[in-house]
């Protein structure tokens, strides 16, 4: 029997999928080379925006057709779109099963130890196995680059965000458990480890706790690079900056989602910090790590966002002088407070503001990248297609150069010869 994964959304879903792959291996399943040879399709979903959910349902239609071509094929779904582990025969079933009749079952990711029941018992007479989902040893798709969750869930309840409802309360893994998984990953060939959490800085709910953990991971012998995502500005502090500055194997990059640059909108978002506080963090970071990069996230067109609020966002971006930003138009999520806020911004205005911000981001990044011409960066190669290799530097600069698949997972020195708007091209030296 063979399985095929379709993964949407954040790095946490990819990490979850590696643990599910381990469960399937114990059930004598093998990964399929392509969809046509698969007997089982599992979708790992994201619901951060409506567009994300629309993509899932679009894919389900394709998989419905695939399912009809061979008897016994099954489709399951997990991730942030699921509220209740259930199947088509369940007395109380998740709403997704009504919207996606091709689905056989859906499950909360923490119920993954019971996957064998979902695959063999369609009566829904399941006895869900309890236990720590993280005790499942992951089957890493790329042993050189490993994502290791340090926590799951979120307690922040930003007014636009579905994660606390989808992932539940924040739960931190013990230090010993995390370090053991990191050490095993390095023994098995990991050059880079990314520590994952919806908010890594609130790990263990103690000030300085994450900085201490980060420092401990940095001491693991032969670990060349450490990344971490995501950080929350209200919890990020100088203790993390100090540890980053003291350990060269920690990335020279900080991804610190701002979401907006106007205090009125930040209050409506329930972010619990001001634009000034955020800019102070940026200043402190650059004081100690002047050559490091900073990236961020924004939401454009949040309910009640005026022209003045948006102009403050643009001013904020210029003050922070970000290296890059990921941003999207606001999308109402059911169950979240912001979905019922008054003064929803019209789509046409969202599009206009999106374009203005995009123009600023591209222009700023292009200028920064132009300054990297003739510099040498150390790139961890992530993939190679048609003799073009691609990877990221410690600063998280996306870089491409000519090479072959033997370089995947290796650190390669690359001289930048052609900076572009949002990527770099170079040559191996």
**Whether residue 129 has pLDDT greater than 80:** no
Which residues share a beta bridge with 74? 40
Nearest to 223 by CA among 201, 251, 246, 252: 251
Distance CA 328, CA 130 (A): 37
Q: Do residues 163 and 198 make contact, with C-beta atoms less than 8 angstroms apart?
A: yes
Both tokens of residue 340?
Answer: 């019922």
Q: Do residues 311 and 268 make contact, with C-beta atoms less than 8 angstroms apart?
A: no
- CATH of 2-132 given 3.30.470.20, 3.40.50.12160, 1.10.10.10, 3.40.50.1170: 3.40.50.12160
Per-residue pLDDT, 272: 98
Nearest to 298 by CA among 226, 356, 242: 356
Distance CA 194, CA 145 (A): 8
Both tokens of residue 378?
Answer: 């150390």
Per-residue pLDDT, 51: 84
Q: What residue spans define the domains of the chain?
A: 2-132, 134-370, 376-428
Q: Please provide the distance, in angstroms rounded to a whole number, between the alpha carbons at the two ends of the chain.
A: 45
* % helix, strand, coil for the chain, step of 5: 40, 20, 40
Starting at the earlier edge strand, list the strands of the sheet with 40-45: 30-31, 2-7, 40-45, 74-79, 105-106, 86-87
Which residues, other chains included, contact 209 with Cβ-Cβ below 8 Å and sequence gap of 6+?
Answer: 203
**Half-sphere exposure of residue 227, counting CA atoms within 13 Å on the CB side?**
25
Does 230 sit behind a cis peptide bond, omega within 30 degrees of 0 on the bond before it?
Answer: yes
pLDDT digits (tens, 9 = 90+) for 75-116: 999 999 998 899 998 988 999 999 888 999 999 999 999 999
Nearest to 216 by CA among 256, 171, 170, 178: 178
Give Cα separations from 409 to 149, 250, 391, 412 (angstroms): 21, 17, 9, 9
pLDDT digits (tens, 9 = 90+) for 270-280: 999 999 999 99
Average pLDDT (211-220) is 98
> Model confidence at 307, in pLDDT bands (50, 70, 90)?
very high
Distance from chain centroid for Cα 99: 26
Distance CA 120, CA 130 (A): 19
- Three-class secondary structure of residue 242 per DSSP: helix
pLDDT digits (tens, 9 = 90+) for 333-386: 988 999 999 999 999 999 999 999 999 999 999 999 999 999 999 999 999 999
Q: Which fold has domain 376-428?
A: OB fold (Dihydrolipoamide Acetyltransferase, E2P) (2.40.50)
Which residues, other chains included, contact 62 with Cβ-Cβ below 8 Å and sequence gap of 6+?
Answer: none
Which residues, other chains included, contact 418 with Cβ-Cβ below 8 Å and sequence gap of 6+?
Answer: 373, 424, 425, 426
Helix H or strand E segment including 426: strand 424-428
Average pLDDT, the chain: 94
Lowest model confidence (mean pLDDT) among 97-101, 304-308, 320-324: 97-101
**Percentage of residues in the chain with pLDDT exceeding 90?**
86
Beta strands in 128-198 (DSSP E): 145-149, 151-152, 171-172, 192-196
- Three-class secondary structure of residue 260 per DSSP: coil
Distance from chain centroid for Cα 308: 31
Distance from chain centroid for Cα 158: 17
Distance CA 318, CA 258 (A): 13
Structure pTM?
A: 0.93
- Three-class secondary structure of residue 297 per DSSP: strand
Q: Do residues 389 and 407 make contact, with C-beta atoms less than 8 angstroms apart?
A: yes
Per-residue pLDDT, 174: 96
Per-residue pLDDT, 218: 98
pLDDT digits (tens, 9 = 90+) for 14-56: 999 999 999 999 999 999 999 999 999 999 999 888 888 899 9
Q: How many CB atoms lie within 10 A of CB 140?
A: 19
Helix H or strand E segment including 240: helix 238-246
The dihedrals phi and psi of 298, each to the nearest 5 degrees, come to -135, 155
Beta strands in 56-98 (DSSP E): 74-79, 86-87
Per-residue pLDDT, 126: 83
**Whether residue 3 has pLDDT greater than 90:** yes
Q: Do residues 103 and 88 make contact, with C-beta atoms less than 8 angstroms apart?
A: yes
Nearest to 8 by CA among 65, 54, 67, 39: 54
Distance CA 137, CA 23 (A): 9
**Whether residue 139 has pLDDT greater than 80:** yes
The CATH architecture of the domain made up of 134-370 is Alpha-Beta Horseshoe (3.80)
**Whether residue 130 has pLDDT greater than 90:** no
Which residues, other chains included, contact 420 with Cβ-Cβ below 8 Å and sequence gap of 6+?
Answer: 366, 369
């Amino acid at each position: 029997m063979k399985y095929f994964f379709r993964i949407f959304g954040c790095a946490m879903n990819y990490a979850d999928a590696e643990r599910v792959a381990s469960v399937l291996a114990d059930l004598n399943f093998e990964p399929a080379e392509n969809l046509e040879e698969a007997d089982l399709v599992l979708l790992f979903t994201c619901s951060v925006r409506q567009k994300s959910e629309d993509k899932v349902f679009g894919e389900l239609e394709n998989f419905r057709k695939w399912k009809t071509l061979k008897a016994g094929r099954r489709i399951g779904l997990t991730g942030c779109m699921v509220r209740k582990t259930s199947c088509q025969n369940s007395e109380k079933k998740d709403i997704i099963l009504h919207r996606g009749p091709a689905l056989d079952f859906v499950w909360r990711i923490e119920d993954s130890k019971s996957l064998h029941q979902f695959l063999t018992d369609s009566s829904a007479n399941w006895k869900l196995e309890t236990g720590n989902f993280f005790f499942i040893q992951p089957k890493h798709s790329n042993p050189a680059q490993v994502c290791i969750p340090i926590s799951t869930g979120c307690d922040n309840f930003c007014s636009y965000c579905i994660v606390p409802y989808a992932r539940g309360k924040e739960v931190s893994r013990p230090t010993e458990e995390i370090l053991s998984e990191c050490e095993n990953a390095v023994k098995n060939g990991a050059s880079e480890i990314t520590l994952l959490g919806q908010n890594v800085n609130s790990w263990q709910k103690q000030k300085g706790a994450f900085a201490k953990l980060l420092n401990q991971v940095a001491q693991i012998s032969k670990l060349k690079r450490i990344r971490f995502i995501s950080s929350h500005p209200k919890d990020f502090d100088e203790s993390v900056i100090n540890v980053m500055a003291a350990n060269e194997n920690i990335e020279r990059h900080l991804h610190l989602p701002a979401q907006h640059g106007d205090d009125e909108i930040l209050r409506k978002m329930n972010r619990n910090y001001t634009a000034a506080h955020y800019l102070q963090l940026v200043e402190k970071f650059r004081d100690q790590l002047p050559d490091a990069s900073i990236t961020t996230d924004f939401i454009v067109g949040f309910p009640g966002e005026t022209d003045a609020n948006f102009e403050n966002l643009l001013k904020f971006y210029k003050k922070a002088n970000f290296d890059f930003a990921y941003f999207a138009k606001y999308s109402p999520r059911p169950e979240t407070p912001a979905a019922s806020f008054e003064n929803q911004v019209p789509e046409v205005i969202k599009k206009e503001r999106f374009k203005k911000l995009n123009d600023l981001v591209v222009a700023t990044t292009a200028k920064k990248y132009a300054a990297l011409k003739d510099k040498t960066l150390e790139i961890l190669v992530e993939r190679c297609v048609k003799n073009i290799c691609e990877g990221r530097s410690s600063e998280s600069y996306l870089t491409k150069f000519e090479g072959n698949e033997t370089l995947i997972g290796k650190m390669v020195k690359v001289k930048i010869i052609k900076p572009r708007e949002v990527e770099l091209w170079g040559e191996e030296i």
